[in-house]
Structures are given as C-alpha cells and as structure tokens.
Structure 1
Amino acid sequence: MPSPVSDQTISDISHVIQLSVAPVFLLTSIGTILGVLSTRLARIVDRARALTERPGAPLGGRTEAVQAEMRILGRRRRLVNLALSSGTTAALLVCVSIAAVFLGAVVKANVALPVASLFILAMAAFVAALVFFLREVLLAARSLHLS
C-alpha cells in the first residue's frame, strides 16, 4: 500500500504538470511566430543580395531606386531582428517560469510572485515581438509598388 507522502508527491507533480500545459501552448505559438520571422528575414536578405549582385548594375554604385529599396530592406531587417529578439526572450522567460514552477514544487517553496512576474515579462516580450512584426509587415506593404 503506497504511503500518503508518495501519493501527495505524485498529486503535487500532476498538478504542476497541469499548470505547465498552458505555457507550453504559448511556447508553440511563439515558436510558430519565430519561424515566420526567420522566413521573412531570409527573404529580406535574399532580396538585398539580389539587388547588390544584379547584372547590368552601374559599376560605380547603385541607382537611386536601388539605394532607396536597400534602405527600406535595412529598416525591415532591423524590425524583424527586434521581433526575433523579443520572441526569443519571451520563449526563454516562459521556459524559466515553467522551471520555476517545478522547482517550487520540488523544494516546497512559494514561487507564485516570481512565476507571475516571469509570465508577465514573457507576455510583454511576446507583445513587443508582435508589434515589431506588424510594423515590418506594414512597412513591406507600404513599400510595395504595384503597377
């Protein structure tokens, strides 16, 4: 017959795992956004390379239109880098908050305030990532010249 202490420990661990499920879903969404941002960054880099290695470009420099597009690509790259940094920070904070919940359960410590603080910081970083992403998308749309 199992002892009451081991039953309580298993119950505590089960509860901690249940509490960790929501942050894991958040990690999934952050990972998805990071994948989208990485793809956008790769496209920006590819476009910049295509502009600089374009055959028939003037030998002494770039045309004004190419320079203007390169400036926009630079701004877009900075926004995507900020979004990637914010998203990665959010993911790391979520991971640390999950680890803190488990550590608190193991050592029987009250970690409510640190975990809540980490989660709030993670959400702030995720919101920042989404704002930078939105700014980059709007800049890309605004710079698009359709005939």
Structure 2
Amino acid sequence: MEFILSPNAVDIIQLALAPIFLIVGIGTLVNVATGRVGRVIDRARWFEALGRQQPSCIDGEARLEIRALNKRLRLANWSINFLIASALVICFDIILLMINGLISVNLDTTILVTFMISIALLTGGLIAFFFEVSLATASLKINVLKVQRLTKDK
C-alpha cells in the first residue's frame, strides 16, 4: 500500500511548521523560567532553615531579600502561566490551520486573531520574565553591597 499526501496536505503541514517552531521556542523559555523558580525556592528554603537554626540572623536585610524572593516567585509564575497559555493558543491555531485547509470554510480571520492572542500572551510572559530578572539583579546588587560593607569592617 502506497501512502501519498496530496499537495494540499503538504501545504497544510508546511503552514503548521512555523507555529510549531514557535512552540519549541516557548518551551525553551518555560524551561529557563522554571529553572529560575527552582533557584528562588532553594534560596527561600535556605532562609527557612536559617530561621529555624539561628532566628537572630534573620535581620532587616534578610527580610528584604525574602520579600524580593516572594516577588520573584510571583513574577516567574506569571511568566510561566503566560508562556504556557501562549503555547496552548498556538496549538489551537495549528488545529484551525489544518481545519481551514481540509474543510472548505474560511477561518482566516479566526486564525489571525488566535495568533495575535498567542503573541500578546508571549509578550506578557516575556515582560514578567524581564521584571523577574531585573528584580533578581537588583537583589544581587544589594547582596554585593552588604558583602563589601562586611569586608570593610574587618
């Protein structure tokens, strides 16, 4: 038995490839964001253990860092949620592309709108990720200044 795709099916598959590559890129971004969540959780657990062992070490600066970790966790979570939503909408877009090519209905406007929604969600995810990275960088600067002050005192 010979399996031959019609030219129409080949065109549909080619049209679906670009959004599939976008999903792969979003998956990479989600992987990076989840890695950052893991680091935030590790640091928060470190503070939790420190608070149990030596509660006096949790000073004002430590509380500021804990608050920053909480904000970072929220921003990373928003980023992941936006990115996953974007990937899901792109999946719907691919389904609509295939239906549009197989059935004689015009879904062009719907396909464009869902694609624009996915790009808007992707943008939201990148903005949240940007703020999380900015907050992490600002927290690092605070820690560097603290270390510099401690080494000057000695």
C-alpha distance in 1, partners of 2:55/2:133?
A: 30
Unaligned 5+ residue runs, structure 2? 149-154
Counterpart in the other structure of 1:20: 16
Matches within 5 A, 1:1-147: 10-54=6-50, 56-58=53-55, 62-144=58-140, 145-146=143-144, 147=148
Shift in Å, 1:56: 3.7
Query: What is the TM-score with the length of structure 2 in the denominator?
Result: 0.84
Letter in 1 for 2:95: A
C-alpha distance in 1, partners of 2:17/2:78?
A: 28
C-alpha distance in 2, partners of 1:77/1:116?
A: 33
Shift in Å, 1:117: 0.4
Shift in Å, 1:109: 1.2
Q: Percent identity?
A: 29
Q: Which is helix-richer, 1 or 2?
A: 2
C-alpha distance in 2, partners of 1:51/1:108?
A: 61
Unaligned 5+ residue runs, structure 1? 1-6
C-alpha distance in 1, partners of 2:53/2:92?
A: 52
Report Cα offsets for 1:30-58 as digits up to 9, x if no partner.
00000000000011011101101126422
Shift in Å, 1:64: 2.0
Which segment drifts farther, 63-72 or 15-24?
Answer: 63-72
C-alpha distance in 2, partners of 1:108/1:47?
A: 56
C-alpha distance in 1, partners of 2:96/2:58?
A: 53
Shift in Å, 1:62: 3.6
Query: What is the TM-score with the length of structure 1 in the denominator?
Result: 0.88
- Specify the SS of the correspondent of 2:6: helix
Letter in 2 for 1:50: W
Runs of 4+ in 1 over 6 A off after TM superposition: none
